[in-house]
Copies of this chain bind each other. A is one copy, B any other.
Amino acid sequence: MSIKTSLLLLIFLPVSVYAQTPQQRVRQYRQAQETALMDEYREFLAIPNVSADSVNIRKNAAFILQMMKKRGISGTLLDGPTLGSTPAVFGEVRVPGAKKTLVFYAHYDGQPVNPKQWGEGLQPFVPVFITAPVEQGGKIVTTYKSGDPIDPNWRLSGRGSADDKAGVMTILNAYDALVKSNIPITANLKFFFEGEEEVGSTHLGEIFEKHRDKLASDLWIIADGPRHVSGKPVVQFGVRGDVNMHLTLYGPKRPLHSGNYGNWAPNPAMRMVKLLASMKDDNDHVVIKGFYDDVVPLTASERDAMAKVPNMEAALKKELGIAQPDGNGTSFVELLMRPTLNINGMQSANVGAMAGNIIPTKAEAVLDLRLVRGNEVTRQVGRVIDHIRAQGYHVLDHEPTDAERQQFPKLIKITTGHGYNAQRTPMDLPVAQGVVAAVQAVSPEPIVLSPSSGGSLPLYMFEKVLKANVVSVPVVNYDNNQHAENENVKVQYLWEGIEIMASIMLIK
């Protein structure tokens, strides 16, 4: 042993053996287990998890039960009364003498995928490491095999890698790290992993009602959504609500030659652009009557927290290639506190090499309405429908019949997804402040406190059915492409997520 090596040992030995904080011990456990943790996570991500794919969804639930079993957590499936609905996976750890009961939430289902839109070599359900996001030139680490060192700056690519199997992964491994490191847990812990979040949590209310007693708690901790754009951890006290609307406009019953019928046959794509364009003014302000009427103003403490959120707009504009954001000068943080009307997608016939000179038979668009405190799903959707009617449309919930086509010049089919309202938890709630302290304890920099995420979760249902308190503690990188192609999670954020969740589990 050289003198140099001895000196190194002198420096590092104390850290790894003596006077370790729980965070250090959790980290040490993870460092020793990286290969095993990542092998299991990749196996989990390889199970397709599109919400509508009920066969594979149940395979995901079974996999989580197996993960719990391996960690000594007694797990079970919680069904609602509706037959065929997707069960939540539930687990529980009771601690004698515990004063607090915490429920950790994540969801294991994912958004729909169009594999063709993914980057070269990437497939939604073949998790692989990439050196960086595809959009920044990241390449697949083709040489990686289980057991190799894992660069914490790599991303793991795959649907659900960030949204939201990462929640399941970090929560269960945080618990495991505490147990394996002999760190005493002082709160009762419950685990609740939902399987229908990406389709609007259709049966969550039913499950809550049926299992109300089992789900009693002091606080729910939601591990979903991204950390702040600055990279800092964030505790969120609310979420926006959300509801989708699917619009279909009808043209001629068969596609028509655009020369032989052009100027005469109504073009549903042109009607769609007129209709959608009528919903916003040139300052991106929604002009649908009453759209902003119900919004409850922000409180002083919410405004105060917002003022402390790091301003990332310049960096975001650069990264995303945006010269001028929407919102007419209003700050990013404030814009997220307003209701939205977003076009998720639209299509009529074909573009590019597949385009023909035709008048299409139909035009489709999907809208996404985000709701804030005060908004109510049915009322907000109703305003959009009223606006559409005011543009002269006869609204259907089915494909038009021949008789309806003859009767009404302007026909639209509207179907509305299962939506939910916004939710906010008061920022001064003591148990929530406990979470703030726990997350801050493992973060070298000041964490971000946000009155509401821009994103959505059906948290209003937690309040309404369970009378529960809820805060969100996201663990994944903001640039994770969630809901889209090339979804990915940064490895280092998974590691830090385990530390964050473990710290919260030590609340007394």
Contacts and interface: CB of A to CB of B under 8 A. Distances in A.
Interface of A: 52, 111-114, 133, 135, 225-226, 240, 242, 244, 246, 250-267, 269-270, 272-274, 276-278, 280, 282, 284, 317-327, 332, 335-336, 338, 340, 342-360, 363-366, 368, 370, 400, 402, 405-410, 453-456, 478-479, 481-486
5 contacts: A226-B260, A260-B454, A273-B273, A347-B348, A358-B483
Given A321-B250, A483-B255, A483-B257, A262 B347 contact: no
B321 A344 contact: no
Nearest 4 pairs of A and B residues by beta carbon: A259-B455, A255-B484, A324-B409, A321-B405
Contacts of A264: 325-327, 332, 335-336
Contacts of A226: 257, 260
Copies in the complex: 2
Given A246-B355, A259-B453, A346-B363, 13 more contacts: A135-B254, A253-B320, A256-B320, A258-B342, A264-B332, A269-B343, A270-B343, A272-B273, A273-B346, A323-B406, A323-B408, A344-B358, A345-B348
Contacts of A274: 273, 277, 280, 282
Interface centre among A255, A342, A349 (most CB of B within 10 A): A342
Contacts of A406: 317-318, 321, 323
A259 B456 contact: yes
A342 B409 CA distance: 19
Given A260-B226, A336-B264, A406-B321, A359 B342 contact: yes
Given A254-B481, A321-B402, A356-B112, A351 B246 contact: yes
Given A346-B269, A349-B345, A356 B483 contact: yes
Contacts of A347: 346-348, 350-351
Contact of A320 (B252, B317, B349, B409): B252
Nearest to A259: B455
B260 A453 contact: yes
Nearest to A278: B277
A218 B240 CA distance: 73
Nearest to A247: B351
Nearest to A394: B323
A351 B366 contact: yes
B326 A254 contact: no
Given A257-B483, A259-B454, A265 B325 contact: yes
Given A346-B351, A348-B345, A484 B358 contact: yes
A310 B326 CA distance: 52
Contacts of A363: 346
A255 B272 CA distance: 22
Nearest to A253: B321
A280 B270 contact: yes
A405 B114 contact: no
A373 to B, nearest CB: 15
Nearest to A411: B323
Contacts of A265: 320, 322, 325-326
A357 B343 contact: no
A363 B269 CA distance: 13
A343 B359 CA distance: 7
A135 B112 CA distance: 30
Contacts of A325: 264-266
A284 B263 contact: yes
Contact of A364 (B262, B276, B351, B484): B351
Given A264-B335, A270-B280, A353 B253 contact: no
B357 A483 contact: yes
A344 B352 contact: no
Contacts of A282: 274
Contacts of A269: 276, 343, 345-346, 365
Given A255-B484, A264-B335, A455-B257, A348 B353 contact: no
B276 A338 contact: no
